Amino acid sequence: MNDVVVDKILRVIKKNKNKNVYDDGELTYTYGELDVFSDIIWQYIDSQKGNSNYIAAIGNNDFYSLCVLTACIKSGYIFVPIDSKNSDERIQNIIDDIKPKVIIRGSKCKEVGNSILFEDIINRNCISNTLTRKKNKYMYVIYTSGTTGIPKGVPISYSNIISFTSWFFHEKFNIYENERILLQASFSFDLSVMSWLTVLWLGKTLVAIPTEITTNYKKLRHWFNTVKFDLFISTPSFAYLVYISTNFNSYNYPWIKKFIFCGEEFNIKFAQKLITNFKNSKIFNTYGPTECTVAIIGTQITESLLKMDKLPIGEKRENIELIVGAENELQIVGDMVFDGYLNRKEETAKSFIEINAKKAYKTGDKVRILDNGYIFFDGRNDNQIKKNGYRIELEEVECIIKKIPEILNVVVLPIKNKANKIVGLSAFIVLEKQVSIDSSELLSKMQDILPLYMIPNKIHIIDEIPLTNNKKINRKLLELMN
């Protein structure tokens, strides 16, 4: 399987040597430059001592990370992206876990161990004619949060990638028609795979928004007004950030023809705004755990779906088995499922169950599958709390509160006392634009629609929901505000 993937990507690189492969609004690079730079990195990797199969790249969504990724694809080494914004401890935990042969970082990244700057490698400008490719089962490793506080490595194989491409590139998304693909996520976030794999597989251009811009409304607005792309791939939270930072509609951004969202729940109110503002653009919602290669299901969001209480995360499809097990937990069987966590036998054993002699991945996500094939996310098995003996699903409280017309978005968290007992709920609320309403009025509206034991004890009206580096909701930061 690895030869199929590598040969395909190498043919695309050679065929498009004069075409731009990367554009961040200031710098552009061609496929030809990517080809040369990745060969130089390959040469450097081969020249270093050690038997490790892993290559660590510390960065974000920059061009040098793409070069390291391509060098790993060519050479057969396993690409391990690490977000430079991670804490020193988290970075070191990953390094200790993989024991990489080489650690490569960008000029803006802090020095880690025996890492080397990307620029220092490129300046060597030495390519050997005797480069040999290794044979490895895995293409990359993405690290996710672990319950113990130590990140878990998710190795994705070339076989997993083949399965993903056979669905993502040949289904309803019609990716072939798009040319310039947004890269919002860091390479360390598996959502990025949707963007960079599309580019390298189909010969498109990766349009990367610099991470430092995403926290500055003025710079974000300027970037979106000057840089064009036709396929918007991101988390829903990032798209909402763009929405409140710009006059986000098809009149001002006619080049955006398609949206694909993944990584978290897609707010139905925001979906309505996007459909209204981009009437001729297609909008898709997708779902999939990192352990199952980015995304496994998806659906196009239409006016008819907006009549539901919440949006589906996808539809049933062929070549993957979706099983609703105990407590409505989604269990997945198919070629997109990973083999198990790196160096974590116990956690791997907990994550799989055998069903009809097949290995099924236990997602921890609760779902409903309707007769018409639509699949709905109903929260996490591990996000259930008890307050005064009442069992409460935080997602359920959020879903009900979102029905209040003045509210655009909400995150509900438990309030704990010094004994770590849950004594109440906090609601962090983002209001609709140009809405003026205070906490007491909101509380009155909540009392009308929520059971007594679900009514938040505290209401925080905030300008926006804080996001993590991967543009997901930063619940830890909200907890500090509690």
pLDDT digits (tens, 9 = 90+) for 280-315: 999 999 999 999 999 999 999 999 999 998 999 999
Residue 147, pLDDT above cutoff 60 = no
Q: Stretch 97-117: mean pLDDT, rounded? A: 92
Q: Quick one: tokens of 44? A: 């450097």
The answer to whether 156 and 139 are in contact (CB under 8 A) is yes
pTM: 0.87
Rounded to whole angstroms, the Cα distance separating 370 from 362 reads 20
Q: For residue 387, what pLDDT band results from cuts at 50, 70 and 90?
A: confident
Please name which of 206, 51, 188, 41 lies closest in space to residue 119, comparing C-alpha atoms.
Answer: 41
Q: CA 90 from chain center: how many Å?
A: 18
Q: For residue 195, what pLDDT band results from cuts at 50, 70 and 90?
A: very high
pLDDT at 149: 53
Q: For residue 480, what pLDDT band results from cuts at 50, 70 and 90?
A: confident
Residue 350, pLDDT above cutoff 80 = yes
pLDDT at 245: 92
Q: For residue 126, what pLDDT band results from cuts at 50, 70 and 90?
A: low
Residue with structure tokens 């061609």?
A: 30
Residue 219, pLDDT above cutoff 80 = yes
pLDDT at 275: 97
pLDDT at 389: 60
- Return the amino acid letter for 369: I
Mean pLDDT of the chain: 92
Please name which of 211, 220, 217 lies closest in space to residue 192, comparing C-alpha atoms.
Answer: 211
Q: Is the dihedral of CA 385, 391, 395, 397 positive or negative?
A: negative
Please indicate whether residue 353 or residue 393 has the higher confidence score (pLDDT): 353
Residue 198, pLDDT above cutoff 90 = yes
Residue 250, pLDDT above cutoff 60 = yes
The answer to whether 82 and 143 are in contact (CB under 8 A) is yes
Residue 8, pLDDT above cutoff 60 = yes
pLDDT at 452: 80
Q: Stretch 260-278: mean pLDDT, rounded? A: 94
Give the pLDDT confidence of 388-405 residue by residue, as tens digits.
667 687 888 898 899 899
Q: Stretch 156-164: mean pLDDT, rounded? A: 96
pLDDT at 482: 77
Q: What are the two backbone dihedrals, phi and then psi, of residue 238, each rounded to the nearest 5 degrees?
A: -65, -40
Residue 382, pLDDT above cutoff 80 = no
Per DSSP, the three-state class of 349 is: helix
pLDDT at 283: 98
pLDDT at 127: 64
Please name which of 422, 412, 418, 420 lies closest in space to residue 456, comparing C-alpha atoms.
Answer: 412
Q: Quick one: tokens of 469? A: 């580096």
Residue 150, pLDDT above cutoff 80 = no
Q: Stretch 62-68: mean pLDDT, rounded? A: 97
- Return the amino acid letter for 237: S
pLDDT at 412: 94
Q: Quick one: tokens of 152? A: 């878990």
pLDDT at 132: 82
pLDDT at 421: 75
Q: Which domains does the chain have, with CATH numbers?
A: 2-300 (3.40.50.12780), 388-481 (3.30.300.30)
